[in-house]
Structure 1
């Protein structure tokens, strides 16, 4: 009896599909996560997002069953990192510790190549901190009033280093200049960390900061830095003698919120898994000790509440840009 050399096309295709299904199970059938979770940070080294992402990563394996690998991707005003996240496979293994600079501020004035409210999935906020303006103690001014007087006397010569074009720090000085009439020399960097280090090195006169940025809290307590103002509704317990920006005559509120997002399309059960892991992680004693040294406390937010918070911030920052006459380029 002869054995046919070729199978009918339909049978061959069916056998091939059965083989593929048995040889490589679909992602949906695998236990998530099955490999390390990549965490993109679209800002430079030494900033508060970098430090907070590494604090989480230090204990992440205990709660997710896989390590978190932090990848810094600064540049392009956040566009490089955000684009990488948008293009990532939506399987939950690539997420980002996001910044308002890139999600709710920058898109109002620059073409970032993504829709901040539609192209990403909010996952979990770990904490937030009120934004501040700082300057070395060696400078001739000791408070915001003296800083503004020096800037008024020397228009465009007093410099300020920000985390990037149209980021949180840039928006702050745009509002400061609009409300006070002073003119500052804005110098953008690839993240708050690099801007802060440039200030410490004497390359810029002032910078934006958070308690975790480059050891701001410790440097302030040692008398190495002056905090000129805090962008909060009320004075901050960590710095009770520091006035708010409202007290300085600048109507501006800004908190740097650290929240994880992912590319659109991550299955909901994997988002839920990540949320439950983060909720447990925030109670970890080692993690809490780490962020306490940075002057941070957990402020968890997730689900529809986080989604609404992001949308509200996006709308609020849009109104601020409109009020100071900055339009999208």
Structure 2
């Protein structure tokens, strides 16, 4: 009995291991400029996540190189849980698959998926191309120009898929990111562009919309754009194509840190206030935990090697 009491006494005096939590502000790397679709979503989620993380999540915009600058900084950051970041799929896996890439898919550890958005084909609101059929017909008669968010970046790939399925050539004009490519379209520098539903949400609404969406890259119509046909409906690219925006940590980040963030972001995305804030912003959340995101990364790595690589030959 005395031995039992002694063991209990010793156990009570031993320090209890505390669950990991950040001890200072958390840096959140976004590889695109402020005002981009990725930045808008990242800021919205980071603001709401503060209550569950327990510290302020500070967005660090590191644009350039189609995402390479920010993501290179991310993978080289100290894996102590105080730096995480957003990646865009398939752009991240596409760049990682390139020869001489400064990072690989294995350089990041999945935390959670935030958004999954369908791609769209858009023109200026006053464009002579009223339908996707008009655009494709014109593109077969003369070379049109399309703005992209960078060479071989996600929206460039969307334009390639459209052109391949529509059997036309076009001139891709790369800009620094989605915000810049949409500005180029609005200013009349190009004839059309491919982006994501959330990117154009505010630009197609109101009394004086700036853009018109002609088609969506999805087997079914987008809930946000119910009157817009899918490309498949028009005999063009029939599969889903878009972008997943997800949160990852640098390689070497410990399992307990990853678990902390998976739990924190899950609670954030289930919070009614977060859901309402995203709804007002025209964003549809698509939470995937670290294991589900890990599988998505693998799938997108295969897609980059087997599909995207063949679009640029």
Q: Report the CA distance between 1:105 and its aligned residue.
A: 2.1
Q: For the structure 1 residues 180 and 211, does the alpha-carbon distance in structure 2 shift closer, same or farther, using more than 3 Å as the test?
A: closer
Q: Secondary structure, in 3 states, of the residue corresponding to 1:81?
A: helix
In structure 1, what is the equivalent of residue 127 of structure 2? 139
Counterpart position of 1:13 = none
Residue 293 of structure 1 pairs with residue 293 of structure 2: no
* Alpha-carbon distance change, 138 to 323 in structure 1, aligned in 2, over 3 angstroms: same
Residue ranges of structure 2 left out of the alignment (5+ in a row): 1-16
2:209 is the alignment partner of 1:220: no
| CA distance in structure 1 between the partners assigned to 2:33 and 2:190 by the alignment | 17
**Aligned pair partner of 1:268 in 255, 273, 281:** 255
Instruction: Tell me if the contact between 1:232 and 1:245 (Cα under 8 Å) persists in the aligned partners.
Output: yes
Partner of 1:91: 80
Note the C-alpha offset of 1:229.
Answer: 1.4
Q: Which of the pair has more CA radius of gyration?
A: 1
- Would the aligned equivalents of 2:110 and 2:247 in 1 still touch at CA under 8 Å? yes
Match of 2:270 in 1: 283
Stretches of structure 1 that go unaligned for 5 or more consecutive residues are: 1-27
Q: How many angstroms apart in 2 are the aligned matches of 1:162 and 1:139? A: 18
Partner of 1:33: 22
1:303-314 map, 5 Å: 303-314=290-301
TM-score, normalised by the number of residues in structure 2: 0.88
Q: 1:166 aligns with which of 152, 169, 178?
A: 152
Instruction: Check the 8 A contact 2:119/2:241 in 1, yes or no.
Output: yes
- Secondary structure of 1:130's counterpart equals strand
Q: Secondary structure at the match of 1:203?
A: coil
Over 4 Å off, 4+ runs: 28-31
- The answer on 1:255 being equivalent to 2:239 is no
- 1:121-163: per-residue Cα shift (whole Å, max 9, x none)? 01111221111111111110011110111222212xx221111
Give the total of aligned pairs: 294
Aligned to 2:108: 120
Question: TM (normalized to structure 1)?
Answer: 0.83
SS, match of residue 241 in structure 1: coil
Moved more, 223-232 or 135-144: 223-232
